[in-house]
């Protein structure tokens, strides 16, 4: 969702609930408090800080483990829950996540029920298979290249993609050299 989409969604939610539409980007606005509580609930991690993203929207902190736990919950969500609804909308409409031919979109399209969503400038990536295996990645260099290089073996490791499936991806126009070792905790 781009800036105008985020801003329109927060304005619509505020208006629908009778809340201020002038302070809807304030972290203490009722909508933002619901978002904060939702992040804490799905991630299992308490929000410790709030920043502002490039669109002026509050950005609530979590950990890399929190990202992975969030995607696990989305991947395993029971029918009838909000999490299940989100996952069910992401899978058949991956282009709505990041646009046509983008890494998130292609990951969802090329996998068997996996979910994927990267953050701004490649800083955070959450991946989950339909079976609930999940990965969180944080790269602070501000680029998608390294996130993609890390994500590919991670996707293969958790079974979201078959081995070697994205070595050369024609839609992305990238070739990944497979000499990366990714550490896994046991």
> What's the confidence (pLDDT) of residue 50?
95
- For the chain, the C-alpha Rg in angstroms (whole number) is 17
CA distance 68 to 61: 14
> What's the confidence (pLDDT) of residue 182?
41
Question: What are the pLDDT tens digits along the chain (186 aa)?
Answer: 468 888 899 999 999 999 999 999 999 999 999 999 999 999 999 999 999 988 888 999 888 888 888 888 988 899 999 999 988 888 888 888 778 877 777 777 777 778 878 776 656 667 777 777 888 877 776 666 677 777 777 777 877 776 766 555 555 544 444 433 344 433
Which pTM was predicted?
0.77
Q: 89 with 74: CB under 8 angstroms?
A: no
Alpha helices in the chain (DSSP H): 3-16, 30-43, 64-76, 82-90, 95-98, 103-110, 144-157
> What's the confidence (pLDDT) of residue 121?
64
CA distance 111 to 118: 16
Sign (positive or negative) of CA dihedral 55, 56, 57, 60: positive
> What's the confidence (pLDDT) of residue 184?
40
> What's the confidence (pLDDT) of residue 171?
57
CA distance 160 to 164: 12
The CB density around residue 91, as the number of other CB atoms within 10 Å, is 16
Buried b or exposed e, range 144-183, using 16+ CB within 10 angstroms: beebbbbbbbbbbebebbeeeebeebeeeeeebeeeeeee
**Running DSSP on this structure, what letter comes out for residue 23?**
S
Helix (H), strand (E) at residue 99: none
């Amino acid at each position: 969702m781009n800036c105008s989409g985020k801003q329109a969604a927060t304005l619509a939610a505020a208006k629908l609930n009778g809340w201020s539409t002038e302070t809807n980007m304030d972290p203490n606005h009722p909508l933002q408090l619901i978002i904060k509580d939702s992040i804490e609930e799905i991630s299992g991690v308490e929000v410790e800080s709030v920043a502002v993203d490039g669109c002026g929207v509050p950005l609530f902190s979590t950990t890399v483990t929190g990202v992975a736990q969030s995607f696990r919950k989305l991947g395993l969500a029971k029918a009838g829950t909000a999490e299940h609804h989100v996952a069910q909308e992401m899978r058949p409409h991956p282009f709505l996540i990041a646009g046509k031919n983008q890494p998130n979109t292609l990951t969802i399209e090329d996998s068997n029920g996996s979910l994927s969503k990267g953050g701004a400038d490649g800083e955070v990536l959450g991946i989950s298979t339909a079976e609930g295996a999940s990965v969180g990645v944080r790269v602070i260099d501000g680029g998608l290249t390294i996130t993609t290089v890390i994500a590919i073996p991670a996707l293969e490791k958790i079974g979201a993609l078959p081995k070697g499936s994205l070595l050369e991806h024609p839609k992305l126009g990238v070739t990944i050299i497979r000499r990366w070792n990714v550490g896994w905790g046991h």
